[in-house]
Amino acid sequence: MNYTEEEKKLLKVNNSVSIYIRGGKNINNVYSDCVIKYMGSKWIVFVELGTGREFTRKLSKLKFKPIDTRTDTEKAIDDLELIYDIINEDFDFEQSIGQLLYDFIKQEKITGVKWVGND
């Protein structure tokens, strides 16, 4: 398996980790918080936190990342700082700042902010 150093540190029995469970073209990537129960050379057994469901998957089909322990407030602040950085560094001033913020809200890229408009 070609895992990053960060992924290798996560792949230990009884470790809690976010595991990529689905995604693809036109589908958002979905990670699920899990506990690893068994690691083989080709297979992994993990239990999904919250539901307690147990899964067996081929390691070659999965991606791993640490569980995000930030609060929603911390995530929102990080999201807003990213927008601030885009405006200060890479902003195309032919586009309005309002349009940029609208796009971020519409695409749900700001934690805790959801578009409720008609379009």
Q: Coil, strand, or helix at residue 20?
A: strand
In a domain, 119, yes or no: no
pLDDT, position 30: 79
Q: Which domain holds residue 97?
A: 72-106
Whether residues 83 and 57 fall in one domain? no
Tell me whether residue 100 is exposed, middle or buried, using C-beta atoms within 10 angstroms of its C-beta: 0 to 12, 13 to 18, 19 or more.
middle
Task: Read off the pLDDT of residues 76-110 as tens digits, 9 standing for 90 and up.
Answer: 888 888 888 877 777 666 667 788 888 888 888 88
Whether residues 10 and 60 fall in one domain? yes
Task: Read off the pLDDT of residues 58-84 as tens digits, 9 standing for 90 and up.
Answer: 888 788 888 888 888 888 888 888 888
Q: What angle do CA 64, 104, 50 make, to 5 degrees?
A: 35
List beta partners, residue 30. 22
Whether residues 13 and 42 fall in one domain? yes
Tell me whether residue 83 is exposed, middle or buried, using C-beta atoms within 10 angstroms of its C-beta: 0 to 12, 13 to 18, 19 or more.
middle
pLDDT, position 35: 93
Whether residues 91 and 54 fall in one domain? no
Kindly report the pTM of this predicted structure: 0.58
Q: Structurally, how many domains does the chain consist of?
A: 2
